[in-house]
Amino acid sequence: MVSAPSRVVIERVEPEIDCGGYPAKRVAGETLVVSATIFADGHDRLAAVLKHRGAGEQGWHETAMVPSADDRWQGAFPVPVVGRYEYTVEAWVDAFATWRWGFDRKVAAGQDVASELREGAALVAAAARRAGGDDAAWLAEQARLLERDAAAPELASRMARHPDRSRGASYGRILAVDVERERAAFGAWYECFPRSTAAEPGRHGTLRDLADRLPYVASMGFDVLYLPPIHPIGRSHRKGTNNTEAAGPGDPGSPWAIGAAEGGHTAIHPELGTLADFDDVVGRARALGIEIALDLAFQTSPDHPWVTAHPEWFRRRPDGTIQYAENPPKRYQDVYPLDFESGGQTLRDELLGVVLFWVARGVAIFRVDNPHTKPFAFWEWLIAEVRRRHPEVVFLAEAFTRPSVMRHLAKVGFSQSYTYFTWRNTKAELVAYVTELRSPPVRDYMRPNFFVNTPDILHEYLQTGGRPAFQARLVLAATLAESYGVYGPPFELAVTDAVPGTEDYRDSEKYQVRHWRVDDPYSLRPLVTRVNEIRRAHAALRPGSRLRFVPTDNEQLVAYLRVADDDVLVVVVSLDPHHPQSGHVELPLDVLELDPVRPYQAEDLLGGGRYLWYGTRNYVALDPQALPAHVFQLHRRVRTERDFDYYL
């Protein structure tokens, strides 16, 4: 006998990435909230469960789902440890709840319910037959009592434990969520070139100099120190100062032209030091609470050992010469791309070995250079292989490319990604872009890292806005995204010197050794430190918190809420680095559970000071010559205006 199809429909399960083709992302310790649209014909009551399990588990755990408006149901389960979890949804017509709903309505209407009592008793008796243990006997007794309208109050809860799911519906897919450690989703990054860390001008810095620079980086509160390539640099076609094609005898070349007689991707540049020096940097950084992130640039110089050992890994022109990298009109004669089509599994295994080599030396974060120029399938394979052995490893995609490509790299496994934040400078641009990143489904698989500047990008806004522009962009990056980064020391020193008409730094560290006065009294170091202190202290700026833009009556002021439970921050930033700006900020008092007729306190965590605010609209003023941003913490109940005491 063929059973009748289920009457229940399950659709629009969220999060779901590309019909279940890719996992969502979360951080260990979070709770995954799952929603679905669930409905059936007629007016019968439904029940639904969220089924979930950890990697390697055969059976399912179940959590009841709760209905809300528009047939949406919601359930949640914790993801306490790093790894992969699976989930799906099941729903059915709840015959007993349907009966109880109709029974109560008839009783309220004064109708005879003798027949309904017998129907309910039959449902309870059937549940007793499905149940086991004490519930079976208890329900059997309740079935007899129900016919006399004398059932126990807890009957509904016991019935819910033994529903008839024989004609229920299961969602057609098993979905997955990849759970990573917190650094995959939250952290402040600092980038610097080790060769520019010497204490005195005119000398090539070493890893020992970098080790001495670590307390400086730690003092500003950074979590990650990212190093551009530290490998031997090729000599053939070496680029000179400011990317000239003819290098002088003292020019060190670009670190991204990897490989020379001294070695390739698993070697240290001789002028930087040794592997033992690198191990010392990793250890000293860890003691200061900093992780070292390495650049993963899968390309070579013409002098890399792979060029002679594996010529099949490179693409050749018709004249037999190897094709160097190009991005017309730019040419990179000092860099050879790898040919993944001809390299095959041998090349892929070699590159996997490079990653595992550095993981064995204590590196668990990699910033991947131009991943969009390599096959997606390669990254999906490599990241899965690395995480199978070392699930703590984090990959950041440096992919300034088309949105679809950037998003796909996130789907195949990259923990986080560079974004277009650098080029979003007006209020409308910021609101639209951040809203896009924080809306489903993008928010469920792509984690942005808002780098303010990079060795490749000194935006016009920074070039022309001076220190106030650097200050404003710092606050925006650090409070709009859970992960952000700066390229220093040029960032904290507010370096604005660019090659005219470009976003390139003049005298770029990519092509020469620089010396930076990190003790400059005008450095932005104190502000950077304070911003990172606020980030660490407030759950409202961590993963899982909420962000909401709020209206202002001045287009030069952008304002937004960051909220996590009772931690409420209001960030206001002036986008005008040249002139004072003022206006009113409008807050949703109902959402914040603030009394519209009582004052509440706004404490400025950046500039200091506490202000009594009233109602929805409150006035703010920002002078870029002082500080172009406020980060207010709201304290909800003020005792008196006189003494300013308050409760958190």
Residues serving a catalytic function are: 369, 398
Instruction: Please check whether residue 234 is in contact with residue 259, taking contact to mean a CB–CB distance below 8 angstroms.
Output: yes
Q: Checking phi first, is residue 273 left (phi over 0); if not, alpha (psi -120 to 50) or beta? A: left
Q: Do residues 82 and 180 touch, judged by C-beta distance below 8 A?
A: yes
Token readout for 227 is: 């190093």
Prior bond to 15 cis, omega within 30? yes
Could you give the CA distance from residue 515 to residue 581 in angstroms, rounded to a whole number?
36
Residue 518 exposure: Cα atoms within 13 Å on the Cβ side: 20
Measured at the alpha carbon of residue 455, what is the angle toward residues 450 and 459, in degrees to the nearest 5?
A: 65
| Contact (Cβ atoms closer than 8 angstroms) between residue 344 and residue 265 | no
Q: Residues 292, 542, 559, CA angle at the centre, nearest 5°?
A: 120
Contact (Cβ atoms closer than 8 angstroms) between residue 512 and residue 241 = yes
Tell me how far apart the alpha carbons of residues 546 and 535 are, in angstroms, rounded to a whole number: 14
Find, among 6, 11, 23, the residue nearest to 171 by Cα: 11
Query: Do residues 344 and 374 touch, judged by C-beta distance below 8 A?
Result: no
Q: What is the largest CA-CA distance in the chain?
A: 103
DSSP state of 543: T
Going by their DSSP bridges, the two strands 336-337 and 325-327 should be labelled as: unpaired
